[in-house]
Chain A
Amino acid sequence: MLRYTIKRLISLCVSLAVASLVIFTVIEIAPGDPASFMLGINAQPETLAALRTELGLDASKVERYLSWVGGLLTGDFGTSYTYRTPVADMIAARLWVSLPLALYALALSTLIAFPAGIYAASRRGRAGDLGVMGATQLGVAVPNFWFAMMLVLIFSINLRWFSAGGFVGWDKGLWAGLHALTLPAIALALPQAAILARVMRSALLDVLGEDYMRTARAKGLTARQALWRHGLRNALIPVLTIIGLQFSFLLAGGIIIEQVFYLPGLGRLVFQSISARDLIVVESVVMLLVFSVIVVNFLVDLAYAAVDPRLRSRT
């Protein structure tokens, strides 16, 4: 297990290093100089040069890459070009919206998908199964931002149960915060729940065909007992991978949903920073999202290996 962990850890570091290089390069070849963007077209050359020095833009590319990565490692994400505040603080403030939103959506997605998938698998081929599968087929076809608009139309405009957008802030209390995030979380969760329900169903159906399930029945368990005691636990492995992948998807996918609901999360931060050419913020947010995806995948891999020793011998 230790060897496996070390091997995965090395590959994790390589992935992160390459990812940071790619992001740095993309931002680097982006047209438009932040300094001249900040000062406008009538800037004096001396002012421009001074600002470039102040922002560290005239250092060599290698130096700038190293200082950026070094900063990331020590939690210093640099200073925003436009707001002159530490990027780390800006990101932290936005994470308080994006992270709870992603977790909320993940919880909803799991709560919907598990019963739906289990129900469909237990009714394989019958009307209940076909109904659930039809619904999931529709669920994956619905764009989440459109679904979000429909939720606003029904629950905010017509029924007036929720506000149509904005975020009250957690200082108004946990309930008020969750209430403001409910519609966005549902919009994010439903298409994901459709995928997860399909995975749950097919994983369960695979397990139901195994010999040990027949043994469980043979020793006198009812179909329901066998499903709950032996089937579900074994079916969870593929389901957990998808949940791991979905978390990062929900964190990143929130970007568009945040636009629909005017939520002050990472997504809006990215859009604002892009239009202000505040590339240092864009760079750090994208790196943070990629980091979370890679680390979550790494943790899922480790969790697997801990559960299933056969996986350790493979890479």
Chain B
Amino acid sequence: MNRNLIIGAALTGVFILAALVSFIWTPFDHTAMDIPNKLQGIGGEHILGTDHFGRDILSMIMVGARTSIAVALVAVGIGMGLGIPLGLWAAARRGSWLDEVIMRGNDLIFAFPSLVIAILITAIFGASAINAIIAIGIFNIPVFARITRGAALSLWEREFILAARVAGKSATRISVEHILPNVTNLLIVQGTIQFSLGILAEAGLSYVGLGAQPPTPSWGRMLADAQTLVSIAPHMALIPGFAIILTVLGLNLMGDGLRDYLDPRLRVTRI
């Protein structure tokens, strides 16, 4: 075990735990308004203070973690679910027109500024958590397709794959039984990175009002609410900001740590 992995997993674990606990318990009802107690600072009855409606910020952060994690997780799921089979398929038919079409399609998705398209999708088809998931998920597909294909290509040259071919296994069976298990580590590491990017993207979309809609709390929208009040109630901006930073930092550290832990040979310099 290494330090990055432990710190990263601990940070991520805290937020996942907070999200899970919020299903059964939060310090206060996160939708309950309490105007006489609005804009309370940190400490006191409300540990992390209250917002401009007197809602308890800690409760909102806990329920907001649920939104962030759910959106990012499903978006990574879409990317993996479609990207990995495409990557395996392209590698199995390497050099063919199919490979070419899949890879050019990937390049094309990469060429779109993801944020602009996410805004376009959510704005046109309506702002909702589901559309945010789709918008973020689409851009995860080429990431996983590319990384799967890249790793699978070199595996196809290896002798144990040759042995499987000699044994009469089909390309599909080889892909599933021999290639996939050998690229899993790489995919797990990439998955944590995409997860953290998904959290940032979700925060950005809900900040401009295109993510989860009220009354569902989300960290991005808490920041949007805080913007006009930043001079009188800075804690409203600081706390959701720290929540995002710590979660993303935790996931990134965990990704780095996992890479070293799962396979020290994979010292791909992360950027």
Q: Mark A16-51, 1 if CB is under 8 A from B, else 0.
A: 001100100011001100000000000000000000
- Residues in chain B near residue A256, CB distance under 8 A: 115, 204, 207-208
Minimum CB–CB distance from B259 to chain A (whole Å) comes to 14
A289 near B113: Cβ-Cβ < 8 Å: yes
Known: A242-B271, A248-B113, A293-B113. A18 touches B204 (CB 8 A): no
A15 near B196: Cβ-Cβ < 8 Å: no
Best-surrounded residue of B227, B234, B253, B271 (most CB of chain A within 10 A) = B271
Q: Mark B239-258, 1 if CB is under 8 A from A, else 0.
A: 01100111011001100000
Decide if B230 is an interface residue (CB 8 Å cutoff). yes
Segment from B18-26, B116-124, B154-162, B168-176 that makes contact with A = B116-124
**A143: which of B117, B204, B234 is its contact (CB, 8 Å)?**
B204
Segment from B34-42, B54-62, B104-112 that makes contact with A = B104-112
- Residues in chain B near residue A150, CB distance under 8 A: 237, 241
Decide if B269 is an interface residue (CB 8 Å cutoff). yes
- Residues in chain A near residue B240, CB distance under 8 A: 146
Q: Mark B213-241, 1 if CB is under 8 A from A, else 0.
A: 00000000001001100110010010011
Minimum CB–CB distance from A256 to chain B (whole Å) comes to 5
A143 near B241: Cβ-Cβ < 8 Å: yes
**B230: which of A145, A152, A206 is its contact (CB, 8 Å)?**
A152
Decide if B270 is an interface residue (CB 8 Å cutoff). yes
Decide if B97 is an interface residue (CB 8 Å cutoff). no
B244 near A157: Cβ-Cβ < 8 Å: no
Q: How far is the CA of A274 from the CA of B203 in the complex (A)?
A: 20
Q: How far is the CA of A66 from the CA of B119 in the complex (A)?
A: 25
Best-surrounded residue of B119, B203, B226, B270 (most CB of chain A within 10 A) = B119
Decide if A99 is an interface residue (CB 8 Å cutoff). no
B241 near A146: Cβ-Cβ < 8 Å: yes
Decide if A302 is an interface residue (CB 8 Å cutoff). no
**A15: which of B111, B124, B234, B270 is its contact (CB, 8 Å)?**
B111
A18 near B108: Cβ-Cβ < 8 Å: yes
A19 near B200: Cβ-Cβ < 8 Å: no
Decide if A303 is an interface residue (CB 8 Å cutoff). no
- Residues in chain B near residue A27, CB distance under 8 A: 124
A153 near B230: Cβ-Cβ < 8 Å: yes
Segment from A71-79, A133-141, A182-190, A222-230 that makes contact with B = A133-141
Q: How far is the CA of A138 from the CA of B196 in the complex (A)?
A: 13
B226 near A153: Cβ-Cβ < 8 Å: no
- Residues in chain A near residue B104, CB distance under 8 A: 11, 14
- Residues in chain B near residue A248, CB distance under 8 A: 113
**B124: which of A18, A142, A274 is its contact (CB, 8 Å)?**
A274
A149 near B113: Cβ-Cβ < 8 Å: no
Best-surrounded residue of B111, B207, B226, B227 (most CB of chain A within 10 A) = B111
Minimum CB–CB distance from B53 to chain A (whole Å) comes to 19
**B111: which of A149, A206, A297 is its contact (CB, 8 Å)?**
A297
B223 near A138: Cβ-Cβ < 8 Å: no
Minimum CB–CB distance from A247 to chain B (whole Å) comes to 11
B111 near A253: Cβ-Cβ < 8 Å: no
B116 near A137: Cβ-Cβ < 8 Å: no
B245 near A138: Cβ-Cβ < 8 Å: yes
- Residues in chain B near residue A195, CB distance under 8 A: 271
A149 near B226: Cβ-Cβ < 8 Å: yes
Q: How far is the CA of A294 from the CA of B123 in the complex (A)?
A: 24
Q: How far is the CA of A231 from the CA of B115 in the complex (A)?
A: 35
**B208: which of A22, A149, A259 is its contact (CB, 8 Å)?**
A259
Decide if A282 is an interface residue (CB 8 Å cutoff). yes
Known: A141-B249, A143-B204, A274-B124. A286 touches B271 (CB 8 A): no
Nearest chain-A residue to B249 (Cβ)? A141
Decide if A304 is an interface residue (CB 8 Å cutoff). no
- Residues in chain A near residue B244, CB distance under 8 A: 141, 143, 146
Q: How far is the CA of A18 from the CA of B245 in the complex (A)?
A: 37
**B252: which of A141, A153, A260, A274 is its contact (CB, 8 Å)?**
A141
B203 near A143: Cβ-Cβ < 8 Å: yes
B117 near A286: Cβ-Cβ < 8 Å: yes
Minimum CB–CB distance from A293 to chain B (whole Å) comes to 5
Known: A153-B231, A153-B237, A274-B123. A145 touches B113 (CB 8 A): no
Nearest chain-B residue to A198 (Cβ)? B271
Q: Which B residues fall within an 8 A CB radius of A? A: 104, 107-108, 111-113, 115-117, 119-121, 123-125, 196, 200, 203-204, 207-208, 223, 226-227, 230-231, 234, 237, 240-241, 244-246, 248-249, 252-253, 269-271
The 3 closest A-B pairs by CB, nearest first: A252-B113, A202-B269, A141-B248
What are 10 A-B pairs at a CB distance below 8 A? A14-B104, A18-B108, A30-B125, A31-B124, A141-B249, A143-B245, A146-B240, A149-B241, A202-B271, A256-B208
